[in-house]
Structure 1
């Protein structure tokens, strides 16, 4: 994923820090604000931008399209060219929020590396975490299958018992 800060840097937009962590201000290239006026705000926390004067807003791809004056699809193709190697996803990353909730995981998916963390250590810990989540999911699936088989067996035995009792009497 290309961050919104990287999009600003690629397009030569100078970002100035604000009092809020992860939020930046800049001169809007469309409005043409100058001097001490900053109408364009960029949030690296939410990966969004918003201009308080012209009302332009969106995510990183929309920001790239807006800065270059191109369509969203062209900006997406520019930022994420086809044919580049796609990262192999761990099976646990493919689980939906509902499936994770079945296991008791109710927080957001921490798949992105936090800032200031050693990348090698993060990858190692992330793999351990994803392996654990995947093992829990497989155990949950096995448990559900076994419970369904037991229930079907009980229902089959219960439906056969009255017939056997009536024929045996």
Structure 2
């Protein structure tokens, strides 16, 4: 583990300050995700310029989140801040977890079901949902950044 820098509690103020340096009017606050195990420490970013962060499939938001994680110096999910603009990431978490639940039902019925290519965080959400179901397992398949997830009966 690297030496810690910014504390989790200081992240909203850090985002507002960095946004101001870039000429962006941002507000940031902690907001519950409804499933703290899957989406811990959600920081809702709002303000007149927040939509700029969500443009281009959230590329700027991903970059800002990367910088926040670097400033925090942590690597444990439960200690890192996760940024969200207009609830887009929260919605995606709920969508992927519903897909995982659907795949679990199909795997119970058919023996296995494979979901299409997902990012690492999305795959984690599927693994988490399925781990909450008795008698089922998951496995990421293939190589690369985006991989399919197979859900199967044990």
Task: Give the TM interval when normalised to the shorter protein.
Answer: under 0.3
Could you tell me the TM-score, scaled by structure 1's length?
A: 0.26
TM-score, normalised to structure 2, is: 0.27
Structure ID, larger Rg = 1
Q: Which has the higher contact order (CA 8 A, sep 6+)?
A: 2
Instruction: Indicate the structure with greater strand content.
Output: 2
